[in-house]
Amino acid sequence: MRAIWKGSISFGLVNIPIALYPATRKEELKFRLLRAADHSPVNYKRVAEADGKEVPWDQIVKGYEYEKGKFVVLGEKDFQRVDLEATQTVDIQDFVDVDEIDPMFFYKPYYLEPQKGGDKAYVLLREALAEGKKVGIAKVIIKTRQYLAGVKATKHALVLELMHFAAELSDAEKLNVPKTLEPGKREMEMAKALVESMSSKWDPKKYKDDYREALLEVIEDKVEAGGKEIEDKPKEKKASTKVIDLVAVLQQSLAQSQGAKKKPATKASAKRATRPQKKAA
């Protein structure tokens, strides 16, 4: 695995040389655009708006449109002039309790690997973050953009997780969601019981990308059929999910309980309540 960035972590007078590695990988299936007639791949062309001519990569520059139709061109030296030192430093500005940060702020993790001479300081920072349950809030420039980031301790490694700036998150207050509605005590107890019955220990390997696996199966079937159309397999009728079934049972139990309060229960009514209910057609 190749490092995508090298620099250092800086906090106070401490400086730790590190390298940055992707902590995630994409498992998306890649498709090419083809001409329907002969399956010839269709390529994209970089075409200039002025004359419609194709532009080679060595003649392309980056420009910022400061007025409609007017651009200023920026080269590599211009980007470096913004803050050369910051481009090589994860500059930790504060240490914050993990529980204080809304998870919505975090969105992309990278592993941090200590470089020569940085092992001891790396371990010290990792253990201090882990024991104090803290996150180092930093700013870092990667390529041509500055990011807010959190430095976290996870098992044996330090992780740099890119974060959204506050201005990048939409205001949830603008959503039309119920704010003053309070659930009934009995309904709340049922909801808690449902959550408790479905609770388990976190096991990330338990969850698979079902869509990707199903799509791969379709691709394999078409390859075996020589690219010809394949007949649809008969689909099994979907049964109600566990959540819906449980909710229905809990709602039914609540209705029966409320009905029992209105009139005294008889032996016959008690028997009917315990019989399995027929599913509606």
Report percent pLDDT > 90 for the chain: 32
Q: Is 1.10.8.60 the CATH classification of the domain at 5-25+81-167?
A: no
**Residues 101 and 139: beta-carbon distance below 8 Å:** no
Instruction: Of 51, 27, 9, give the one whose Cα is nearest residue 215.
Output: 27
* Cβ-based neighbour number of residue 154 at 10 Å: 14
What CA dihedral angle connects 187, 192, 198 and 202, to 10 degrees? 150
202 pLDDT higher than 60 = yes
Average pLDDT over every residue of 57-79: 88
* 247 vs 101, more confident: 101
Where are the chain's structural domains?
Answer: 5-25+81-167, 182-233+242-254
Handedness of CA 253, 256, 261, 266 (dihedral sign): negative
Quick one: average pLDDT of 82-89? 69
Question: CA 108 to CA 103: how far, in whole Å?
Answer: 12
Q: What pLDDT does residue 279 have?
A: 41
pLDDT confidence of residue 225: 80
Tens of pLDDT, residues 138-162: 999 887 788 999 999 998 999 999 9
Q: Which of 7-11, 215-219, 263-267 has the highest mean pLDDT?
A: 7-11
Is the pLDDT at 223 greater than 80? The verdict is yes
Q: What is the pLDDT of residue 204?
A: 82
Tell me how far apart the alpha carbons of residues 162 and 139 are, in angstroms, rounded to a whole number: 9
**Integer CA distances (angstroms), 115 to 15, 155, 259, 279, in order:** 11, 18, 70, 65
Give the single-character DSSP code of 267: H
In this predicted structure, what is the pLDDT of residue 26?
A: 74
Q: Are 262 and 269 in contact (CB under 8 A)?
A: no
